[in-house]
Amino acid sequence: MPAQQPSNIDPAHARGWVDTTLAACLHRVNRRDLIRQLLVTLVVTVAAAVFLQVSVRSYVVDGDSMFPGLKSGDHLLVDQLVYRFQTPARGDIVVFRFPHPWLQQDLVKRIIGLPGDVVEIRPHLVFVNGRPLYEPYVRNVETYSYGPRRVPAGEYFVLGDNRELNGRPISYDSHQWGFLPAGDIYGRLSLTFWPPADLHLFGW
């Protein structure tokens, strides 16, 4: 409700009347309160930075093995906490440490086979447990053959989305170097954020 002008104020001086309930809304912060506020702000900032460092990690794509969904030069954010609460699912795009000593590099691929699945690849088709897998994300299909092989417990079978071009492999993945241990997975792709034209959310 708007403040009412007191009735005993001369109308000629009403212009200078101030409602003190509105005017007295600020007070000076003493030094102790200021220090406390600064400390709280610092703690919150540090906690937020630590949480972001633990929960997400940024990467830049180098190569075309996940084209067209991921392009070389795309900047990614990877959720590093999601697999603490759930297991990887077929179709997830994951970033992982290469599981063999001859290549010290992080890779990004798509999960195709889960623990216990039987994976087989024939030219132009991937089969999981005897059924052809629907893969609308694939750009260039495979012409090679693989399997059938059962995915061991605690491991995954991963492939790139851009697999072959003119008979030449584009993606270096499980059909060449084997299964991916769960412990080598850093996390699931959550977001591409740069360049702005490639902004996209994943897994939501």
Across the 204 residues of the chain, what is the mean pLDDT of every consecutive 10-residue run? 52 53 59 70 55 68 90 91 92 94 92 97 95 92 91 97 84 95 94 83 68
For residue 17, which amino acid is it? W
pLDDT at 51: 47
Distance from C-alpha of 136 to C-alpha of 173, rounded to nearest angstrom? 19
**Is 71 a residue of the active site?**
no
Structure tokens that stand for 179 in this block: 């299964």
pLDDT at 35: 73
Distance from C-alpha of 190 to C-alpha of 47, rounded to nearest angstrom? 22
pLDDT at 113: 97
Exposure b/e, 161-174, CB count within 10 A at least 16 = b: bbbbeeeebbbbbb
> If 0-12 CB within 10 Å is exposed, 13-18 middle and 19+ buried, where does residue 59 land?
middle
Contact 150, 157 (CB under 8 A): no
pLDDT at 183: 94
Residue among 188, 190, 185 nearest 204 (CA): 190
Instruction: Give CA torsion, residues 39, 40, 43, 44, to 10 deg.
Output: -150
**R_g of the chain, CA atoms, integer Å:** 29
Distance from C-alpha of 116 to C-alpha of 150, rounded to nearest angstrom? 6
- Tell me the domain boundaries of the chain: 20-54, 57-201
Active-site position among 65, 171, 174, 190? 65
Superfamily the domain 57-201 falls into: Umud Fragment, subunit A (2.10.109.10)
pLDDT at 43: 59
**Is 72 a residue of the active site?**
no
pLDDT at 48: 47
Active-site position among 72, 109, 145, 190? 109
